[in-house]
Amino acid sequence: MRVAMYYNNKDVRLEEMGVPEIGAGEVLVKVIASGVCGSDVMEWYRIKKAPIVLGHEVTGDIAAVGEGVDGFTAGDRVVFTHHVPCHDCRHCQAGQQTLCHTLHNTTFYPGGFSEYVRVPKINVDRGGVIKLPDSMSYETGTFTEPLGCAVRGQRKMEMKPGASVLVLGSGLSGLLHIKLAMALGAGRVVATDISEYRLKAAVDAGAELSFNALEDGLVERLIEANDGRGYDQVIVCTAVPIAFQQALQAADAGGVVLLYAINTPGTEVPFAIYDFYHKGITLMNTYGASPLDLQEALALLQHGRVEVDSLITHRLPLAETVEGFQLTVKAQNSMKVIIEPQK
């Protein structure tokens, strides 16, 4: 079979590999669509494991099932995820599934940018494979994992109807947070970015207003846009260090700041301890998605509560995966790039 082998962001090669053999409890999936995630192009992280086949926002058809598999048969349309929790450890029992050691050490083989993927037994057993509704396209289904991550974040910060929400960074994750906050009843959503393309995309996604993050007096303008007070919920979807300071300044007293983007290890960010302490801000982060989050995301997609097809800007065959990576890295006139391995 063909795979897109990652060496670095500018070097993703079309190579040949044997179709994975499956064992008891496993399934073999013929990949139809695989989204390029922003984390796929975090070269500082990915290059340590290169050469590797990436891709974890994946949908396809089950091509074969191993002995003992219940609930799935060849031909089923599915979305599947690389990470699953054990459901038994103290973190899982406390509802913190994404802190689970098992979740951080599970994956499928070789990766979503390939024609076929072997999904291990633990992924099949622990909720890592979900049937796609007949009404849902494979492309829409690839948003299950990234939307699931946003669902988990907004659940942690207890998104409430009527809340004022500020999203710093309007890339794909920022747009999903905008759409999700609106679906959950946010009263007002305002966004920032430095790209005019993304600022327009934020408004198209449902933001009431969007502001260039480089303009003078940004925080003052943001507060003015929220009737003169800070925001109940602030979601940081950019790794630019100054955004952390902006988040603390723009949050209302008693507000919540969610760190959604990840910085390169060793990055130091400004921390206004006075703003944090004096305003009683709750600071939290989030990582990944649990099977429950994925199920909720799938339902939101299925019933049209969160529309995502408008976010797809490019559909590329497997041989052009490197172009998909470059589009994602440059982040100029693209949003979600979908790779179609069967083409």
Q: What value does the mean pLDDT take over residues 178-199? A: 97
> How far, CA to CA in Å, does 157 sit from each of 27, 232, 281, 283, 342?
36, 10, 12, 9, 39
How confident is residue 275, by pLDDT bands cut at 50, 70 and 90? confident
- DSSP string covering 278-313: HTT-EEEE-----HHHHHHHHHHHHTTSS--GGGEE
Residue 194 has pLDDT above 80, yes or no: yes
How confident is residue 267, by pLDDT bands cut at 50, 70 and 90? confident
**What is the pLDDT at residue 268?**
81
**What is the pLDDT at residue 264?**
83
pLDDT digits (tens, 9 = 90+) for 40-83: 999 988 999 999 999 999 999 999 999 999 999 999 999 999 99
**What is d(CA 180, CA 151) in angstroms, rounded to the nearest whole number?**
7
User: Going from the N-terminus, what domains does the chain have, and what CATH number goes with each?
Assistant: 2-143+308-340 (3.90.180.10), 149-285 (3.40.50.720)
